[in-house]
Amino acid sequence: MRRAVLTELEDIKAEDIVVIGLTGKSDIADYMIVASGRSQRQIGAAAERVRKAAKALSGRAPAIEGLPACNWVLIDTGDVIVHIFR
């Protein structure tokens, strides 16, 4: 899942991508990925790409917060939590 999320973020040209390993530190996820986008449109597109990739891998849609405004979007895939900031 981590690799799929990173691929989608890199393909959409997200910036400042950081992967934080949470294994053994937190029970909520194995990884947290933080990235930024230049516009609301780019952030929305990145979130949609991550959503589709996560659903294809796990068979279920991830929980998403912040899509209407697209200033900050949180995507919880279960194993990976993704934050995309503007």
**HEC sequence for the chain:** CHHHHHHHHHHCCCEEEEEEECCCCCCCCCEEEEEECCCHHHHHHHHHHHHHHHHHHHCCCCEEECCCCCCEEEEECCCEEEEEEC
pLDDT digit string, tens, across residues 65-84: 998 888 999 999 999 999 99
- pLDDT for res 24: 87
What is the value of pTM for the model shown?
A: 0.92
Judge whether residue 26 has pLDDT over 90.
Answer: no
